[in-house]
Amino acid sequence: MSSRLAAITFNTFREAVRDRVLYNLIIFVLLLVASAPLFGQISIGLEKLILVNVGLTSISIFGIIIAIFIGIGLVSKEIEKKTLYTILSRPVRRWEFITGKYLGLVLTLVVNAVFMTIGFFVALFIATRTFTRDDAGLLLAIYFIILQFFIVTAITLLFSSFSSPIFSAVFAFALFVIGTFAEDLRNFAALAQGVTKWLATGAAWLVPNFSALNVISQVAHGDPIRPQLVLFNTVYALLYSVAAMAVAVLIFERRNLK
Amino acid sequence: MQTPALEILGLAKSYAVGFLRKTLKPALQPLHLAVEEGETFGFLGPNGAGKTTTLKLLMGIVFPTSGAARILGHDFHDPDIKKQIGFLPEQPYFYDYLSAPELLDYYAQLCGVSSDARRKKIPELLERVGLGDVGKTQLRKFSKGMLQRVGIAQAIIHDPKIVFLDEPMSGLDPLGRREIRELLQELKQQGKTVFFSTHILSDAEALCDRVAVIHKGELRGIGVVEDLRSKTNARTEVVWQGSGALVSIAHLVTETHATGEIIRAVASAQDLDMILEKLRQQRAQLISVTPVHGTLEDYFLTHTSEPETVKA
Amino acid sequence: MKGRRKSTTVAVLLLIAAFTGSVLALHQVDTIRGKQATLEEVLYIPSGKTLKRLSLGYSSLLADIYWTRAVQYFGQKHQQEALHYEMLDPLLDITTDLDPHLIIAYEFGSIFLSQPAPAGAGQPEKAAALVEKGIRANPTYWRLYFTLGYIHYFDRKDYKAAREAFQKGSEMPGAYFWMKVMAAEMAQRAGENSFATEIWSHLYESTQDAMVKDNARQHLTALSMEREIEEIQRRVETFRQRTNRLPAGWYDLVRAGLLQGVPVDPLNNPLKLMPDGTIQVADPAKIPFLTKGLPPGWKRPVKHQ
């Protein structure tokens, strides 16, 4: 089992790496990060702040775009091109297939984030000529961004296990936006009454909470992040991803593939 | 008695169609057939007959509306038995970013073939299917014929006992077809069970021990090729001189061909006496009377033109 | 299909366990971050204008979200009877930057800000500034002037500023007529006699309503009395400067040529000249709306109409 899972994971990774689209996006991000020092010229003293904000936000947003963009094709492309047929005719379980795809994409995103982080720190060094203790916080912010990738990839696969690529992209993106405002949803649920209250409360806990995983502003201002937050955010992100993938597996196992 | 390599026990599939998904459109009526180990079995039918549906059901790509199947004695959905199954889908497409050796390596890994075995077998197999010199070329650069060969290779890289092929000759030029035919004969010699669907009858005639004919989701006939051939109405070719005589028997013959005064026509054996009598009356001069062997094509056409309920 | 049943069971169990676990973990995360976690970022937003540009045209929606957060924030602080509402002003500032036409943010937000702690933020200056920002963006919306006037009057006790606000607002389309009344009231409290008289005269002339007319007349009478008292006060001062002493009675002033006779109030009762030189009316209760010439500490009884 694990060798099959590993094989599919690695193959998914290999596919993403050989897909030229990925390189274009990476180059774009690197350009963005490289141009950050220019922003610093406009507002004196805020150079590092702006660079951190732009850099981390780019890594986050582009990672999520890549996650959704590639994620929607992972399953649908295999069905459309019928490559899935020759996979299913082998001892591969359907759950192994979709989980392998998930792990492969997550691996791709992590590697991608590593390269972007290196680029980011290079830009930071060019701009500020030094590293301070606070910069460890930057790594923590990137770790949280990677946790976001875990969740986004899982929900993208969940949707693409049953709907077409375009709808999957739309739903996944919508869920990401809603998840960013998850706490406002909770506020709304607190104010609402009756049926609306129950629905809103349910939705508020069901929706992935991305605002908890976004510490870019804090880190940009050098504020420390509590270790317990790191622990529970990690647990949350992993468990949520597992839950989403479990649903994806349940759906995919029952699907009649064309 | 040995367990059949493949037993299809009433597999059926209907699709819900229509706006409200209320109507059921049957793609495959309950199918019963068995294939013995070592047989090369042909699954014939026109396009849309249900051949691909049957294969998809057997592979677990779609789920049956009813019925079951057993492969090598195991439930057809048992994942472990798939180590013994090879499958080549119709008009296959493979990961175009991989090279042929990479693809085979990946697929073999998924079947549990050890890395030593892979290292040894893959170059051999590529050689055998005529792809010995493709090296690291990515599959996106392969021609259709080359892809078909890769397809066969991936179907047998893990040395399965039974191989399922959906239209293995499609898109190949005559040379390619001959090579694939040879490969299939090799498989047969190795004692593998081969189940392939096709609508090219000459291939089926040449390779198969038994065939089944399927039309509009229903099994129309099954049996040894020879038997089926002879089941069709025997026909006779009649050649005579005297074009004037044609008129009186035109309704009894087909495939008339005239070269000057010499007429050649084909008629069914039972009408032969009547034809000869008529020709004699017209004072035509008989040249030859020759029986024409039934072909599988005749059998095929007969059973796929009108709706009928035929059992093997 | 035994295999599938097994994996289905595993998947369902995993789903339940993982989801429950995730909810628990999220709960912990919430606790650690604190109740207004989302608002931390408010401190880091350089300006609402930047945020508006970033919101790609959806600023109005974002404004609504920030307004909701402001309300939530205020509600929680209010419940806790907090003394400091630090983030209220920044939140309202961002909200109104995102949507300058979100009137309720100005109206209610300024009330939250101006109310003294712990009921509100106790920042009437900030409240006034917020409403002025709203007026700049919505110059003809008369209610904002009313809100501003109210803040100046009630929380800041700046009657002149209140009069200005009410007066300007009364000129805006759709303004209720009592904006003028409020302006006049404020003018009187601010000691701006001429403004008050002007407004009341205008009201007296323009209104058809008998009660309003009567009310205006009474105000004008009081104002006229106040002017007179002020004038008499000036004459008393002139006398004192000339003679170095305060007049003993009205006749001193008459003999000095500063008055024609004994001054009377609208009811023809003579005014009283007190020993300390101040003027008083005989019975202030009979002259409604009079704010000058009252005995010290005298409170007008509340009329029940």
Chain segment B50-84, per-residue pLDDT in tens: 889 999 999 999 999 999 999 999 999 998 899 99
**Do the domain assignments include residue B42?**
yes
**Three-class secondary structure of residue B34 per DSSP:** strand
Does residue B40 surpass a pLDDT of 60?
yes
Residue B216 to chain C, least CA–CA distance (Å): 28
Other Cβ atoms less than 10 A from the Cβ of B298: the count is 18
Q: Please list, in sequence order, all residues whose beta carbon lies within 8 angstroms of the beta carbon of residue A236, skipping any fewer than 6 positions away.
A: A209, A212, C22, C25, C26, C29
CA-closest candidate to residue C15, choices A180, A158, A197: A158
Instruction: Please identify among residues 46-75 of chain B the ones whose CB lies closer than 8 Å to any CB of chain C.
Output: 75
Contacts of C3 in chain B (CB under 8 A): 77-79
Does residue C1 surpass a pLDDT of 90?
no
> Which of B59, B109, B110 shows the shortest C-beta gap to A85?
B59
Tokens of B118: 């892979």
**Three-class secondary structure of residue C300 per DSSP:** coil
Considering the domain architecture, whether residues B44 and B139 belong to the same structural domain is answered as yes
Residue A53 to chain C, least CA–CA distance (Å): 11
Contacts of A253 in chain C (CB under 8 A): 4, 7-8, 11
Residue C14 to chain B, least CA–CA distance (Å): 22
**Do the domain assignments include residue B310?**
no
Q: Please list, in sequence order, all residues whose beta carbon lies within 8 angstroms of the beta carbon of residue B127, skipping any fewer than 6 positions away.
A: none
Q: Based on the number of CB atoms within 10 Å of its own CB, is B145 exposed (0-12), middle (13-18) or buried (19 or more)?
A: middle
Please judge whether A232 and C38 are an interchain contact, meaning their C-beta atoms are less than 8 angstroms apart: no
Please judge whether B79 and C3 are an interchain contact, meaning their C-beta atoms are less than 8 angstroms apart: yes
**pLDDT tens digits, one per residue of C220-277:** 999 999 899 889 889 888 888 988 888 888 888 888 888 888 888 888 888 888 888 8
**pLDDT tens digits, one per residue of B251-294:** 877 778 888 888 888 887 778 888 888 888 888 888 888 877 66
A-C CB pairs within 8 A amount to: 89
Please judge whether A86 and B94 are an interchain contact, meaning their C-beta atoms are less than 8 angstroms apart: yes
Instruction: Note down the domain range covering B106.
Output: 6-230
Other Cβ atoms less than 10 A from the Cβ of C162: the count is 25
**pLDDT tens digits, one per residue of A38-52:** 655 655 556 677 777
Domain count, chain B: 2
Please judge whether A7 and B93 are an interchain contact, meaning their C-beta atoms are less than 8 angstroms apart: no
Does residue B308 surpass a pLDDT of 50?
no
**Do the domain assignments include residue B226?**
yes
* Mean of the per-residue pLDDT values of chain B: 85
Look up residue C82 and give its amino acid: A
Of B230, B248, B276, the position where a domain reaches its end is B230
Partners of chain B (3+ Cβ pairs below 8 A): A, C
Q: How confident is the model at residue A67 (pLDDT cuts 50, 70, 90)?
A: very high
Considering the domain architecture, whether residues B226 and B258 belong to the same structural domain is answered as no
Please judge whether B75 and C1 are an interchain contact, meaning their C-beta atoms are less than 8 angstroms apart: yes
pLDDT of residue B293: 65
Considering the domain architecture, whether residues B39 and B140 belong to the same structural domain is answered as yes
Considering the domain architecture, whether residues B225 and B261 belong to the same structural domain is answered as no
Interatomic CA distance for residues B30 and B25, integer angstroms: 13
> Which of B82, B89, B158 shows the shortest C-beta gap to A85?
B89
Residue C12 to chain B, least CA–CA distance (Å): 21
pLDDT of residue B83: 92
Partners of chain A (3+ Cβ pairs below 8 A): B, C
Residue C38 to chain B, least CA–CA distance (Å): 45
Task: Say if residues A215 and A144 touch (Cβ distance below 8 Å).
Answer: yes
Tokens of C234: 């000036």
**Do the domain assignments include residue B24?**
yes
Partners of chain C (3+ Cβ pairs below 8 A): A, B
**Do the domain assignments include residue B131?**
yes
Considering the domain architecture, whether residues B219 and B239 belong to the same structural domain is answered as no
**pLDDT tens digits, one per residue of A101-149:** 999 999 999 988 888 888 888 777 777 766 666 678 888 999 999 999 9
* B226 in contact with chain C, both atoms CB, cutoff 8 A: no
Contacts of A83 in chain B (CB under 8 A): 93-95
Contacts of B69 in chain A (CB under 8 A): none
For residues B27-42, average pLDDT = 90
For residues C7-31, average pLDDT = 89
Of B230, B251, B276, the position where a domain reaches its end is B230
Considering the domain architecture, whether residues B109 and B212 belong to the same structural domain is answered as yes
Considering the domain architecture, whether residues B186 and B283 belong to the same structural domain is answered as no
Which chain C residues have any C-beta within 8 angstroms of a chain A C-beta? 3-4, 7-8, 11-12, 14-15, 18-19, 21-23, 25-26, 28-30, 32-33, 37-38, 40-41, 44-45, 65, 68-69, 72
Considering the domain architecture, whether residues B172 and B44 belong to the same structural domain is answered as yes
For chain A, give every domain's residue range: 2-254
Considering the domain architecture, whether residues B170 and B25 belong to the same structural domain is answered as yes
Q: Which residue of A has its CA nearest to B58?
A: A89
| CATH code of residue B218 | 3.40.50.300
pTM of the full structure: 0.74
Which segments of chain B are extended strands (E)? 6-17, 23-35, 40-44, 66-71, 74-75, 85-88, 162-166, 193-198, 210-215, 218-224, 235-241, 253-259, 262-268, 285-292
Q: How confident is the model at residue B304 (pLDDT cuts 50, 70, 90)?
A: confident
